[in-house]
A and B are shown apart, each in its own frame.
Chain A
């Protein structure tokens, strides 16, 4: 028994080392393609921010999904299933419709980022607080999920209406913002987003033991001395900050976190958060990087967000069919 476990642990370490090496190769390929001594300065100034944004966005989304799943005790519940992507699209559309394409909030990247993140965090934490306070009975999670799905449909119908009435020139601004892409990441946002996201991720990493306890369920966690509602509130807020920053930076990446976290949970022999947080970061970044590389090499015009949505959806369908629950 011990022997078998030790062997499978080695296997897990091997797999993730391989993924990490693969990731390094992909990053090198992405940054280094076509670089010569003459153009290096320009190429690097364009590509390094993109890679940084990808690492931040994919890692943040993955960690956030992991935390959501642990806190809700459900592997299917992630921020994007809860409708946070649809909310982002709605916010972007409404801002452009109300203030016009030249508004300071859109032309000043810092302001736009801060406003998006604050609004998303406020909305998501309010919704979650309302829903989690009613969570005591068994049907609680079903309701949370349904409420999220319904909110998503509602946000989409409001966005659809606003997009119908706004000026086509302004719509192109909306379109650039609501389709995830690393090409229009504005470099000045990164120095602002990176410390915020790093702080949120650090809070989560420092609570890895608390997360392990919460994974056992509310009663067990309380019995183990966890101040349950306070810690859950803190962790959910940190996760929301992560996913909101990632979305505000590159755009919505539906299913990204869901797929990364489910792959990690499937491949791990133990669900200790200390290792899972790192594994989900590597996996998430590898997925995003892989898709972006394929787009780059094939010269595809399909937006990154659409490609992620399509492939993430299919992967998730496969996971559902295999009965991972």
Chain B
């Protein structure tokens, strides 16, 4: 037995992950330009409390919600597309959200966050639906077809966003808004992320039918599942979660790709049982990356888009090279 696998089997369990979230959460709250200890909070120092409530807690909550939401989105996409390389980042969802976000920001600069989210969600939905539709049409059967189609469709959408940004001469601003980064999150700027809680709960509720849909159209149909409706529901949930995360926190690569695969290696593919673990591991994974980015060059920060890019690509390449991941399921 592979010792790494043994360790991960014990590590990737609800109770352990929950403890990790709490430890990481306390650590995250204490980190910043001013170090805050648990004692400071308990003694009720009003200055400390203001910092905690205004900036530290909002940041912690955003990171946890974005991580959990994106990981669950990846899991749902992998199930309905029956491909382990599917994720919001590889199924054009993030690229779609980017187009709507850029359009909303540049055309109606004074629009409230909610309008930006709706715009991003609409384009993310359109892009993901197009992606799912095209996947069904492509005759070329290989597991690579999902990341490849994602790459191509993503590039087309990116070109659209680029043309809009170029037109407004805002390439650098757009590029920096879109880098996954939670350092600017304060009270009043993150609350919309709470929308992803009911969305994730909705995913929990329908986990069973997503699992059945993952058996394939024919099998699912013969088991009495309305396959089309299930796919539409899945795409809706995934697009909305991704849009909210992109508008509030920027683009965070790999989390939706790597986390569901770790869970699947350890726990298999029954979503009713693995969705809670996926959400928790997603939250822990993003929280650890966030903390890493905050301590490496303290008191400066590395944005989470970069730390996740490095950590995520390393983990993913390792999984691919070790042959843990052949894509089919």
- A residues apposed to B, CB below 8 Å: 76, 81, 134, 139, 142-143, 145-147, 149-154, 156-158, 160-161, 163-164, 168, 171, 175, 179, 254-255, 301-303, 306-307, 309-310, 313-314, 316-317, 320-321, 323-325
Q: Given A142-B144, A160-B178 in contact, is the A153-B253 Cβ separation under 8 Å? A: yes
Q: Given A143-B320, A157-B179, A313-B155 in contact, is the A321-B144 Cβ separation under 8 Å? A: no
Contact of B313 among A153, A313, A314, A323 (CB under 8 A): A153
Roughly how many angstroms separate A134 CA and B323 CA in the complex, as a whole number? 11
Complex contact B158–A323 (CB within 8 A):
no
- Residues of chain B with a CB closer than 8 A to A175's CB: 171-172
- Residues of chain A with a CB closer than 8 A to B162's CB: 303, 306, 309
Roughly how many angstroms separate A139 CA and B142 CA in the complex, as a whole number? 11
- Residues of chain A with a CB closer than 8 A to B167's CB: 301-302
With CB as the reference atom, state the residue of chain A lying closest to B165. Answer: A306
Asked if B100 lies at the interface with its beta carbon under 8 angstroms from chain A, I say no
Would you give the shortest CB distance from A79 to chain B, in whole angstroms? 14
Asked if B191 lies at the interface with its beta carbon under 8 angstroms from chain A, I say no
Complex contact B89–A323 (CB within 8 A):
no
Q: Chain B: interface residue count, which band?
A: 35 or more
Name 17 extra pairs, CB < 8 A, besides A321-B138, A324-B140, A325-B140: A146-B85, A149-B147, A154-B313, A157-B179, A157-B309, A158-B310, A161-B179, A161-B306, A175-B171, A254-B155, A301-B166, A303-B162, A306-B162, A310-B160, A316-B152, A317-B134, A317-B152
Contact of A313 among B156, B166, B320 (CB under 8 A): B156
- Residues of chain B with a CB closer than 8 A to A316's CB: 152
Contact of B166 among A142, A150, A303, A325 (CB under 8 A): A303
Pick the most buried of A81, A149, A151, A160: most chain B CB atoms within 10 A of its CB. Answer: A160
Asked if B27 lies at the interface with its beta carbon under 8 angstroms from chain A, I say no
Complex contact B156–A139 (CB within 8 A):
no
Complex contact A161–B302 (CB within 8 A):
yes
Interface SS majority for chain B: helix
Complex contact B152–A154 (CB within 8 A):
no
Complex contact A313–B316 (CB within 8 A):
no
Would you give the shortest CB distance from B74 to chain A, in whole angstroms? 14
- Residues of chain B with a CB closer than 8 A to A151's CB: 313
- Residues of chain A with a CB closer than 8 A to B153's CB: 313, 317
Roughly how many angstroms separate A76 CA and B151 CA in the complex, as a whole number? 12
Roughly how many angstroms separate A321 CA and B130 CA in the complex, as a whole number? 13
**Across the A-B interface, the 9 shortest Cβ-Cβ residue pairs:** A157-B309, A323-B139, A313-B156, A310-B159, A164-B176, A309-B159, A161-B306, A154-B313, A160-B179
Asked if B321 lies at the interface with its beta carbon under 8 angstroms from chain A, I say yes
Asked if B8 lies at the interface with its beta carbon under 8 angstroms from chain A, I say no
Asked if B24 lies at the interface with its beta carbon under 8 angstroms from chain A, I say no
Asked if B111 lies at the interface with its beta carbon under 8 angstroms from chain A, I say no
Complex contact A142–B159 (CB within 8 A):
no
Q: Given A317-B134, A320-B149 in contact, is the A142-B175 Cβ separation under 8 Å? A: no
Asked if B143 lies at the interface with its beta carbon under 8 angstroms from chain A, I say yes
With CB as the reference atom, state the residue of chain B lying closest to A309. Answer: B159
Would you give the shortest CB distance from B20 to chain A, in whole angstroms? 24
Complex contact A306–B306 (CB within 8 A):
no
Roughly how many angstroms separate A147 CA and B180 CA in the complex, as a whole number? 22
Would you give the shortest CB distance from A89 to chain B, in whole angstroms? 11
Contact of A150 among B158, B251, B305, B316 (CB under 8 A): B316
Complex contact B158–A309 (CB within 8 A):
yes
Complex contact A309–B138 (CB within 8 A):
no
Asked if B195 lies at the interface with its beta carbon under 8 angstroms from chain A, I say no
Asked if B214 lies at the interface with its beta carbon under 8 angstroms from chain A, I say no
